[in-house]
Amino acid sequence: MNPSYPYDLIIGLDRSDKKADLCLITTATGQRRSQTIDTAPEALWEWLLALRQKHPQARVGLCLEQPAVHLVAFLEAYDWITLYPINPITLQKYREAFVTSCAKDDAKDADYLADLLLTHHAKLKPWAPEDSATRAVQQLVFHRRAVVDERTGLTNRLIALLKQYFPQALVLCGEDLWRPLATRFLLKWSSLQAVQKVKPATLKTFYYLHGSRSAKLLEQRLALVQKAVPVTDETALIESFALRVQLICRQLQLVQQTLTHYEKQIVSAYAAHPDHEIFASLPGAGPVLGPRLLASIGSQRERFGAAAELQHYTGIAPVTKRSGGSCYIHRRYLCPKVPQAELPRVCQGKHSVEPMGGGVLFAAAYQGQSASDRGAGLGLQVAAGDLPLLAESHSLSGSHLRGGFEEKWQQLGVALRPRGIGQKSLQKSHERILKKPLTDYLRGELRHAGPNDVNPVKVRGPTGLYARAAELACPP
């Protein structure tokens, strides 16, 4: 084996639905050969058997493009193969570095994957599968989310059908049409004509047995049934819609039963996990959020050498782009969506008020600390660039800020106003920006415009995490 390479054989695999294109590189000689195999498990097993017989002692590195869940699950069982799953964007950018025409071919992609691993194996991270307990929680959480999405799709389809022939059902069945009250109601009475034939006492008994016992709500529903006017009396139209509505209601009942089974299995798998106590000790991580965090982060804590790496992975750390004299900071787009949505819920409501005394502000301003984002539980978020302003001893009033902003923006408007443009449009834009000057300034929506600042920078962020971060990271 070449001492500069950790593998004797490097393989690039680009798969499709029915076949996989391979590029095999022998590191000792640099010899390349191409091959095409079937992606069926039997064909993969035969190929691996022949490969091992030909290279009995070789260490093999295999690079493949994600998503390839079935291939990763199949190949990770062979300990003599080290897998390198590659983000599709990584392969795309690597290909475009040599092919500016954006031409694409499966065999060529296999060559690029092999070259990528051969050249940059030190920077790529090998695949490290989770243990069985963690995988059980991950798969249960993942499939439960898929079933919830399926329930949402069925509910939206049911709403669309009811709006066309039975809109009163959206009130009679409640807000959540996937609940037992709604599905059983529609399976029993699939049209307004069927509901109006029922006695009020029968409807009262039905609602009472299904947990809807509000007297005021019951009176409103009974009054709606009495005064309701059907969209149509055409029997063929009503019956055709009713058949589809009943079909979706039965599907929703099955989906809801499956969700109940998933939730029970998640509770048991999460309770039996070795890291249960760690995730359960996090503030705000209850029986619902805890398994989701475990499934998102995993149990391999060695993957994250520092807190910043975990922040980058979960998407709560911003991205900085610098080029020349410009600097732009935005939220992280390419990251797992689940932890990005779930992590801000940790500590939510735990710290409702933050101490913001003069000593705290002065120390933070002196050290140049940036404002942290702690989700909805943070009582007050202050941009780092505003800390010196707030730490001063004199009082800060909204009128003071408003006057300063108006003066700056009036100077900017005079400098940028082209000929033929009236005062009205500038005044509207001016009023819109300065609607809440103090709030916008602290949130980072507005900044001072310098005398030579032709294009004033406006930094926008969803929760104040990036408020005026561009000014802090890119000093003039």
**pTM for the full predicted model:** 0.67
Instruction: State how far the Cα of 261 lies from the Cα of 437, in Å rounded to an integer.
Output: 52
Q: Write the pLDDT tens digit of every residue in 380-399.
A: 444 444 444 444 444 444 44
Two structure tokens written together for 79: 């300990």
Tens of pLDDT, residue by residue over 197-237, are 999 999 999 999 999 999 999 999 999 999 999 999 999 99
The predicted structure's pLDDT at residue 154:
97
Alpha helices of 347-421 — where are they, by DSSP H? 358-367, 387-391, 398-416
C-beta of residue 332 within 8 angstroms of C-beta of residue 315: yes
Q: Which residue has the tokens 């108006």?
A: 406
130/418 Cα distance (integer angstroms): 62
Structure tokens at 91: 């392969």
What pLDDT is recorded for position 342?
A: 66
Per-residue pLDDT tens over the stretch 83-118: 999 989 999 999 999 888 888 888 999 999 999 999
Tell me the three state secondary structure of residue 65. strand
Give the architecture (CATH level 2) of 9-120.
Answer: 2-Layer Sandwich (3.30)
Q: Which amino acid is at 24?
A: L
Query: Which DSSP string corresponds to 96-165?
Result: HTT-TT----HHHHHHHHHHHHHHHTTTSPPP-PPPHHHHHHHHHHHHHHHHHHHHHHHHHHHHHHHHHH
Residue 338: per-residue pLDDT: 65
Contact 302, 137 (CB under 8 A): no
The rounded distance, in Å, linking the Cα atoms of 93 and 100 is: 10
Q: Which residue ranges make up each domain of the chain?
A: 9-120, 137-269
Of how many residues is the chain composed? 476
| Partner residues linked to 320 by β-bridges | 329
- The residue ranges of the chain whose pLDDT is under 70 are 1-3, 337-476
**Distances in whole angstroms, Cα of residue 339 to Cα of each of 196, 211, 281, 295, 316:** 48, 35, 17, 9, 9
pLDDT of the residue at 3: 59
